[in-house]
Amino acid sequence: MAKNELTTVEKFNLVTGMEEMDEELKAELEDELGDLDEENGIICRQIKIPSGGGKAFEVESDDPDDPEVMKEISGVIIFTHRANAYWEHKYGEGEDGNNEAPTCSSMDGKVGVRLETGEMCNCDTCPYNEYGVDGSGKPCKNIRRIYMLIDGMPGVYLLSVPPTSIKDVNRQLARIMGHNKIPYTRMVMKFKLDAATNKSNIKYSKVVVDKEGILPAEMFKITASMRKELKEKYTEIAITGSDYNMTPPGTVERNMHDVIDINNAGFVQADAKEEVPFN
């Protein structure tokens, strides 16, 4: 085998959670689940990154108050995309008490849509998407969402990569795919967290991605099909405070309303017939 050549990860388990069920019981359960209201879009469980340089992910379990703590995640990326979100208030200080929905968000990192009015703006020229002259962070939070399957765990999981890790994650994935000439849907990746310190000597957790191996060939069609479905429906998975509910390390909070009028910050009225250019 050539140096750095990827081997097949035979042990990767793509599961539904119903493998061990009796067929009659499984059929009854599926029939009764069909009695419930259908959920729109894709249902994802969240993978959260700790603050303060912690080295373990918090992976949502059946009990939302008791996440599974994992130092490493072995997973297959199904789909990934950029996203931006701007909250007018600090988390927890909005009129609704928890400030879950962002004031403005972009599902492709290019076109922002204001929640209340539907007005759109170009993220590249929006003043909220610029660093402060003093080097402070952007008011708009840049995110990269990664949807994945986790070895031995049913369902789709969502990891929202924070601004402090986006460039590194982009480079790591581009290097892995470019070197091996293999799509990410056919590879098993290993995710972990390293402790890092910024210029202000504040510790934070940095996402690290590395290759683990190739999926068994019989799973290729499954993951490719899931990617197609997710790419068609990912805009239905709204951005909330779960994607980003803390201040990035080293960010100096600024009251942007002192310098920017949100009603004149490059927003234009959306035409109901116009198709937003998501990709």
- Residue of higher predicted confidence among 15 and 52: 52
Phi-psi region of 53 (alpha: psi -120 to 50; beta: other; left: phi over 0): left
pLDDT at 248 > cutoff 50: no
The residue range of the domain holding 129 is: 43-259
| Tens of pLDDT, residues 178-211 | 998 999 999 999 999 999 998 888 899 999 999 9
Does an H or E element contain 28, and which?
helix 23-33
Dump pLDDT digits (tens) for 222-235: 999 999 989 988 88
Q: Is residue 73 part of a domain?
A: yes
Residue 4 within a domain = no
Q: What is the pTM of this model?
A: 0.78
DSSP character at residue 8: B
Structural domain total, the chain: 1
